[in-house]
Amino acid sequence: MSNMQRIGLLTGGGDCPGLNAVIRAAVKTAINEYGWEVMGIEDGFEGLIQPHKARLLDLTDVRGLLPRGGTMLGSTNRANPLQYEVATDGQVRVFDVSETVLHRAREYGIEALLVIGGDGTMRIAHELMHKGLQVVGVPKTIDNDLYGTEVSVGFDTAVNTAMEALDKLHTTAESHHRVLVVEVMGRHAGWIALAAGIAGGADVILIPEIPYCLEVITAKIQQRYQSGAQFSIAVVAEGSKSLGGETVYRAERELGGVARLGGIGELVATQLRRLCQVDVRATVLGHLQRGGSPTAFDRLLATRFGMMAVHMIAQGHVGHMVALQDGHTTIVPLSEAVSCQKQVPLDSDLVRAALGLTICLDNHRQAIVAE
């Protein structure tokens, strides 16, 4: 790919801290090391579906970008070109507009596309690769559920945000002798809940990987009250559900999107109030976890990933995603990255650490893991 002249760059899916740092690293590497031009595509794949949503980026565009949250290019989690939903006359029609995307990329002179995204975006990139688009992926998601990489850009900052919230909630929980239930993001995986819960000293952590049992949580809280701890903190991932229960949704799916999770924190709080006969409140951290300035870890990861992705294009490693494995940057085929979801392994040291600290995850599971 040494005769390359222009690459494209887009951010897809939900935003997160560190996206701008990836963009900055990629633009600097492409221009300074290879002399390429970089076309920034606006609002994810929407920018290759609709006209006039792309612009050339130069070094001045990425100045001062490193500490800024969000994405200077904009993003969307509702523009899948393979199943593009359009509402007309009260009816929703679904189109495959991938040919438009390929056409637009050619029209812009984009020879390879750097796609920064989570599992949904990587799946789209993988499909487009089969249709002839030269793509390289950079993993980002606060949920950290993208397979093939130990960590994705944005996760560390989200964990820190949730941990700081737990620190603050501790003091008010203690003053009022309350149980505080904190709902964090985590659609299919409990990485944020588990990491922030351990780092923030939670007493109960509920994750989608382990269906919970209310009686077990109640026993844990009552035991804390009996032992003199007059408060408890429970962290609940939004995708958690009770044993035999259903996932809790806040709203139906909107055009092109997925159904919105939310409400499990309030549900658990209501149930615990009844069962424990104590004061219980729920807090939803929501999109706070997606905002703010990236941590040093995320800035470094984003910089390494952004640079490496450009080198991958230069070396012809298209159809791959940059990844972190054993602390080193490496590459994985996109087919592998989209092959499954990365959930918390129940025998992981993170789970063992939680159990070792007698954090309540689920009694039944605790017995299995402890064996």
Minimum CB separation of residue 185 from ligand F6P in Å reads 3
For residue 360, give the nearest of 188, 179, 187 by alpha carbon.
179
Q: Residue 62 and residue 47: Cα distance in Å, rounded? A: 19
User: What Å distances lie between residue 163 and 44, 170, 193, 196, 199, CA to CA?
Assistant: 30, 11, 9, 5, 6
Stretch that binds ligand F6P, among 39-47, 125-133, 180-188, 315-323 (CB under 6 A): 180-188
Which two tokens mark 144? 């950290």
Q: Should residue 185 be labelled a site residue for ligand F6P when binding is judged by CB under 6 A? A: yes
Q: Should residue 119 be labelled a site residue for ligand F6P when binding is judged by CB under 6 A? A: no
Which two tokens mark 224? 């804390």
Count of Cβ atoms closer than 10 Å to residue 249 Cβ: 15
- Which positions from 9 through 38 interact with ligand F6P, judged by CB under 6 A? 14
Which two tokens mark 221? 């809280």
Q: Residue 157 and residue 264: Cα distance in Å, rounded? A: 23
Q: Residue 247 and residue 168: Cα distance in Å, rounded? A: 28
Minimum CB separation of residue 257 from ligand F6P in Å reads 6
Minimum CB separation of residue 232 from ligand F6P in Å reads 24
Please tell me which residue in 15, 43, 119, 143 is annotated as part of the active site.
143
Identity of the residue, 208 or 319, whose beta carbon is nearer to ligand F6P in the bound complex: 208
Q: Should residue 77 be labelled a site residue for ligand F6P when binding is judged by CB under 6 A? A: yes
Contact criterion met (CB below 8 Å) for 132 and 116: no
Question: Which residue reads 């159990």 in tokens?
Answer: 355
Minimum CB separation of residue 124 from ligand F6P in Å reads 15
Question: Which of 129, 142, 181, 205 is close enough to bind ligand F6P by CB under 6 A?
Answer: 142
Is 143 annotated in the active site?
yes
Q: Residue 289 and residue 15: Cα distance in Å, rounded? A: 10
Helix, strand or coil for residue 219?
A: helix
Contact criterion met (CB below 8 Å) for 367 and 361: no
Minimum CB separation of residue 217 from ligand F6P in Å reads 22
Q: Should residue 141 be labelled a site residue for ligand F6P when binding is judged by CB under 6 A? A: yes
Backbone torsions φ then ψ of 190, nearest 5 degrees: -100, 30
Contact criterion met (CB below 8 Å) for 8 and 71: no
Question: Which of 24, 53, 104, 187 is close enough to bind ligand F6P by CB under 6 A?
Answer: 187
The DSSP symbol for 278 reads S
Residue nearest to ligand F6P (CB): 14
Number of residues located near ligand F6P, criterion CB under 6 A:
12
Q: Should residue 209 be labelled a site residue for ligand F6P when binding is judged by CB under 6 A? A: no
Q: Should residue 79 be labelled a site residue for ligand F6P when binding is judged by CB under 6 A? A: no
Stretch that binds ligand F6P, among 140-148, 175-183, 206-214, 331-339 (CB under 6 A): 140-148
Question: Which x/- pattern over 243-262 shows residues binding ligand F6P (rule: CB under 6 A)?
Answer: --------------x---x-
Question: Which x/- pattern over 276-295 shows residues binding ligand F6P (rule: CB under 6 A)?
Answer: --------------x-----
Minimum CB separation of residue 35 from ligand F6P in Å reads 35
Which two tokens mark 79? 């523009």
Q: Report the interface residues with ligand F6P, using CB under 6 A.
A: 14, 77, 141-143, 185-187, 238, 257, 261, 290
Active site residues: 143
